[in-house]
Amino acid sequence: MSIISARCPTRIDLAGGTLDIWPIHLLLEEPAVTVNVALDLPVDVEVELRPSTPRIVLASADQGLRAEYADRAALRAELAGGNPRLPLLGMALEASEIEGGARVEVRATSPKGAGLGGSSALMVALLGALAHAAGQDHRARSLLQLAQDVETRLLRTPTGYQDYAPPFYGGCLALEGRPGGVVVEHLHDVDLDVLGARLRLVYTGEPHHSGITNWGIVRAFLEGREHAVRSLQAIAANARVLREALRRGDLDAALEASVEDGQLRKKMAPRISTPTLKAIDAAARRAGALGSKILGAGGGGCLLVVLGPATDAAKVDAALASGPGRILPLKLTAEGLTLERRG
């Protein structure tokens, strides 16, 4: 018996989201930069190889779901049927090169649809564990492309590359899309504890659907609609400002740019801001916060509240605790994909 355990963080996108969706980053005149940071609301995966039996067992502890199959052919048939019980787990297993039976169990600590890249982190952790089980290099960067491709097939809509890098690498990253690939810059000089102390994370309880929201923006951009083109150009310029601020150690300027990203995003697609998100933002600002930013594609999910250098953090915390939504623990982490093999 061989058991592989894997863990990945989720992520907070600070600026430049949507630019990472192909082919937007190839069509902008200036470099498309997306800046994000790994969040210690991890996903955990356990893969047990069972070479003596063809039986497949898939389970999601946080969703309370379990599915069993006599063999890979039965799993394949359910996936082809269009209504699989645990599609992400099943499609990841099908994309792997392990043979024989297996038990795959996963657990996510971030809420579903929170805008924190939870499904992408789960895909990275699961494919990393399966690659390790198959004797492959789980640290190969090709794992990120595989994770994106499998999730694109699962969602049946374009996905961006930014959600896969923080679970894989950890830390604070600037991702620049270029012809031929993505340049990953590790912003090692960013103090994650200092940055995290200036941020608060509130979950609205309203899951979002990033695929639908993002596709509308991508389609408008590709059709050359002026509002979409100008909006994404402004988001790209602001993301470059944030990256430069972090490079020179100016956290105040970087966080101002993150709040600006949120404003630009709401101007581009006003429907991403729900009444709950607006109420949380208003309460935070009244208590002295610098501002906020909707995470992921919006329309629900999480709101990132940003504190100014002189903000009374206790006052903001009290306002958020008494308002709508649920405060989530926020700890940033330098650790990416980790694996352990037993047996």
> Could you write out the DSSP letters of every residue in 160-189?
BSTTTHHHHH-SEEEEEEETTEEEEEE-TT
Q: Which two tokens stand for residue 180?
A: 């031929």
pLDDT, tens digit, 9 for 90 and up, residues 54-74: 999 999 999 999 999 999 999
Which CATH architecture group holds 2-188+333-342?
Answer: 2-Layer Sandwich (3.30)
Contact 56, 17 (CB under 8 A): no
Mean pLDDT confidence for 4-28: 96
Contact 296, 115 (CB under 8 A): yes
Could you say which of 3.40.50.300, 3.50.50.60, 3.40.50.1010, 3.30.70.890 is the CATH number of the domain covering 192-328? 3.30.70.890
Pairing of strands 302-306, 291-294: antiparallel
pLDDT, tens digit, 9 for 90 and up, residues 148-163: 999 999 988 888 999 9
Global confidence as pTM: 0.94
Asked whether the predicted pLDDT for residue 207 surpasses 90, the reply is no
Question: Could you tell me the residue ranges of all domains in the chain?
Answer: 2-188+333-342, 192-328
Query: What are the Cα distances from residue 99, in Å, to 50, 154, 334?
Result: 9, 22, 33
Q: Which two tokens stand for residue 148?
A: 């994106």
- Cβ neighbours of residue 216 under 8 Å, at least 6 residues apart? 269
pLDDT, tens digit, 9 for 90 and up, residues 166-182: 999 999 999 999 999 99
Closest CA to 340 of 45, 9, 42, 43: 45
Q: What is the pLDDT of residue 120?
A: 96
Q: What count of other Cβ atoms lies within 10 Å of the Cβ of residue 100?
A: 14
Exposed / middle / buried, residue 316 (Cβ in 10 Å: 0-12, 13-18, 19+): buried
Asked whether the predicted pLDDT for residue 216 surpasses 90, the reply is no
Asked whether the predicted pLDDT for residue 212 surpasses 70, the reply is no
